[in-house]
Structure 1
Amino acid sequence: MNNDNVLVVGGGMVGAAVAVDLGRRGIPVRVLEAQPPARPGRDEPPRLRVSALNGRSIEYLQALGAWPALDDERLADFNEVMVWDIAASGRLHFTAEDLGLDRLGVFLENDHLQAALLDTAATLESVQLDAPAAPLDVRPGDDGPRLFLEGEGELTPALTVAADGAASRLRDSAGIGVWEGDYGQHAVVATVRPNPPAGQQTWQRFTPDGPQALLPLANGMASLVWYVSPDKARLLKAMSEADFIEAVEAAFPTDLGLIDGVYARGSFPIRRLHARRYWQDDVVLVGDAAHVIHPLAGQGVNIGLRDARALAEQIAEAYRRGLPASHPSRLAAYERERRPDNQLMQSTMTAFHVGFTAPLGPFAPVRGFGLQIANHGGWLKRRVLRYAMEGQ
């Protein structure tokens, strides 16, 4: 591999976006993705892992030329959000119109977006796409990780972008530590067909067990998210489909209606993680390799795409100045831009988790009052919510 190239390890949504952004700028980049997803078929039910793209992310994907690669039939706009506490009367309600937006965002499957970005990358002359890639051996070295690709030998890129997820081997081999914690909950996620069909509203309700949420998907389907203890998550996963539907209909608000079918079910632990630094020597972190936030507000992919854009801009600036892609001044500038934003989002989501999962007791009315204040916050409400939805 040419040592002037940028190597992106991990072609997920964020890693693929970095590659497309660099490739469109004419910067040589190679992507290693071991398990590229098959693009969802038009008649296939929605897959389990989904994301909410805000307006800023949509604009970025349009600028990358990846948006047309998405199938409109698998996208679901949402224009309204409702949040409330089961133990109190306060509600937070807002619409796209309240924030001066055409829509609040779009829900889509992670596999769909990843496949669209990889397809776009494959059309760019500056991008070498290895998907599926041969096994990569990552070994600690004196000046950062040493990378050995099966059948090719050692790779010596100018810069390695670690887009290899929360359990990043590159981050660990670079000696970058993390702050991490466990929220003590699992998210049980199910793709369902509700009756009546899901519209363009997403809602979230806080309960003593944890939040419950409905995320509208294409064609009237929905993603249900139920935050529970690890033991309860195991029980819900082990249930028959009929028993699972009965449990959901009994526990969820009547706004849900009934469930006509369950297409997929799964669960995952809720954790938080933040790297102590975003780069070391010739390795730089993006997306989940750098930070993992509570999925409560669905902002993970949006802040990851902001990482991608910021890093690509700094690498391009290094090239304009005749500097190597890994020049410390550019990587430090990337971290200065992204860390505060990511830290704010993580801290906000942790505060929500603590505030709404603490024992109810005499403080339940305070939580409801807080939601009432937020709902009638006027200009401040609009400003805070616009930042959460748009990142600006």
Structure 2
Amino acid sequence: MESNGVLVVGGGMVGAALAVDLGRRGIPVRVLEAHPPKPLTGDEPLRLRVSALNRRSISYLEEIGAWSALQPGRLADFDEVLTWDVSGSGRLHFSAEELGLERLGVFIENEHLQTTLLDVARSQSAVQLDAPAPTLDIEPGDSGPRLELAGEGTLDPGLVVAADGAASPLRDAAGIRVWEGDYGQHAVVATVDPEPAAARRTWQRFTPEGPQALLPLAGGAASLVWYVRPAKARELLALPEADFVRALEDAMPVELGRIAHLYGRASFPIRRLHARRYWRGNLALVGDAAHVIHPLAGQGVNLGLRDARALAEQIAEAHRLGLPLAHPPLLSAYERARRPDNQLMQSTMTAFHVGFTAPIGPLAPLRGWGIGLADRGGWLKRRVLRYALDGQ
């Protein structure tokens, strides 16, 4: 590994996007992805994990040449968001029409976006892609993590980027501590064919147990998300398929309709995490290695892509000026650009979680009233929607 190059450890959506961005700028970059997803086939069902890309993320993917490589048949536009609380009558409705837009965003399978970005990275002459990558041994060192790649030996890049997820071994080896917490919930996720078919509206209902959501997917399918206590999640996943479908239909609002087919189901814990710093020595953090937020508003991947863009700009500046890629003032500028945005979104999602799951008894109807008031908020409502779309 050349000392004037960038090593990205983790080729998920964020790490792969960063590699593509650097590659198009002609900056040498190597990506190590230990477990790349299986290639998509045209007739296979939609995969379980999905994300909502906002307008800013779509623009970024267009800018780095990845958007046109996606399969249109696996994308689902949405132009309405409906939110309400089971304890009250108020409803909050966002629409693209309010802002004069054709859509609010696009739902996409995580593995489709990841695979596409890796394919684009593979086509760039400045990018070396190891997917699957050999075993990487990571040990703490005085000036940063020591990296030994099986069959190759010591790696000594100019900059190492940790895009290796929330449990980042690189972050831990660098001695970067985190603030973290557990929401005490698991998200039970199911990909289904609802009847009637999902349209271009996503809805979210708050219940005392946790939120429930429908995310429209390609071909009229939908991703159902049900936030429950860990024990309840285990019970649901242990049910036979027919009983699981019946439990979903019984628990979800009438807006769901009925479930004609279940493609798959899974659950994962809901946690929050924020690194106390975004870089140390020649290591920088992006995506879940730096921050994990409640998936309530589907903003995780959007924040990660903004990390990728901001870090790529600082690396490009170092490259242009002939400075070390890990030049401290530039890495500090990256952190200053990204920390406030990530912190604001994490705090907002935590406030929503507390506000809509707290058992406040006879005051619960006030939440519905508050939602109704927000729906009539005019300028404030449009401002919130603009932030969700553009992050600014």
C-alpha separation in 2, matches of 1:67 and 1:55 = 12
C-alpha separation in 1, matches of 2:323 and 2:29 = 16
Matches within 5 A, 1:194-343: 194-343=194-343
C-alpha separation in 2, matches of 1:80 and 1:212 = 16
Q: Deviations along 1:215-240, whole A, 9 cap, x unmatched? A: 00000100000000000000000001
C-alpha separation in 1, matches of 2:383 and 2:192 = 34
In structure 1, the gaps of 5 or more residues are: none
C-alpha separation in 1, matches of 2:284 and 2:340 = 17
Q: Once the two structures are aligned, what percentage of the paired residues are identical?
A: 73
User: Aligned AA for 2:292?
Assistant: V
Matches within 5 A, 1:122-137: 122-137=122-137
Q: Alignment partner of 1:129: what SS?
A: strand
Structure 1 runs (4+) deviating above 4 angstroms are: none
Q: Alignment partner of 1:260: what SS?
A: strand
C-alpha separation in 1, matches of 2:305 and 2:286 = 9
Contact 1:42-1:73 at 8 Å conserved across structures: no
Q: Which residue of the partner structure matches residue 161 of structure 1?
A: 161
> TM-score with structure 2 length normalisation?
0.99
TM-align CA RMSD: 0.7
Q: Deviations along 1:341-376, whole A, 9 cap, x unmatched? A: 000000000000000000040221221111111100
Could you tell which deviates more after superposition, 93-102 or 52-61?
Answer: 93-102
C-alpha separation in 1, matches of 2:254 and 2:372 = 22
Q: Which residue of the partner structure matches residue 364 of structure 2?
A: 364
C-alpha separation in 1, matches of 2:166 and 2:369 = 36
Contact 1:196-1:258 at 8 Å conserved across structures: yes
Q: Alignment partner of 2:34: what SS?
A: coil
Q: How many pairs are equivalent?
A: 392
C-alpha separation in 2, matches of 1:258 and 1:70 = 30
User: Aligned AA for 1:95?
Assistant: S
Q: Which residue of the partner structure matches residue 180 of structure 1?
A: 180
Q: Deviations along 1:132-177, whole A, 9 cap, x unmatched? A: 1101000111111000000000000000000000000000000000
C-alpha separation in 2, matches of 1:385 and 1:18 = 26
C-alpha separation in 1, matches of 2:285 and 2:173 = 12
C-alpha separation in 2, matches of 1:370 and 1:389 = 22
Are 1:103 and 2:100 an aligned pair? no
C-alpha separation in 1, matches of 2:137 and 2:63 = 34
Q: Deviations along 1:269-320, whole A, 9 cap, x unmatched? A: 0000000000000000000000000000000000000000000000001111
C-alpha separation in 2, matches of 1:91 and 1:7 = 47
User: Aligned AA for 2:23?
Assistant: G
User: Aligned AA for 1:149?
Assistant: L
Contact 1:42-1:74 at 8 Å conserved across structures: no
Q: Which residue of the partner structure matches residue 66 of structure 1?
A: 66
Matches within 5 A, 1:70-149: 70-149=70-149
Q: Alignment partner of 1:382: what SS?
A: helix
C-alpha separation in 1, matches of 2:229 and 2:40 = 31
C-alpha separation in 1, matches of 2:372 and 2:39 = 43
Query: What displacement does 1:99 show?
Result: 2.3
Are 1:42 and 2:48 an aligned pair? no
User: Aligned AA for 1:208?
Assistant: P
C-alpha separation in 1, matches of 2:56 and 2:21 = 15
C-alpha separation in 1, matches of 2:73 and 2:238 = 32
Q: Alignment partner of 1:313: what SS?
A: helix
Query: What displacement does 1:388 show?
Result: 1.5
C-alpha separation in 2, matches of 1:245 and 1:236 = 10
C-alpha separation in 2, matches of 1:246 and 1:38 = 31
C-alpha separation in 2, matches of 1:331 and 1:357 = 38
Q: Alignment partner of 2:112: what SS?
A: helix
Q: Deviations along 1:41-73, whole A, 9 cap, x unmatched? A: 121111010000001100100111011111000
C-alpha separation in 2, matches of 1:305 and 1:102 = 22
User: Aligned AA for 2:206?
Assistant: F
Query: What displacement does 1:390 show?
Result: 2.0
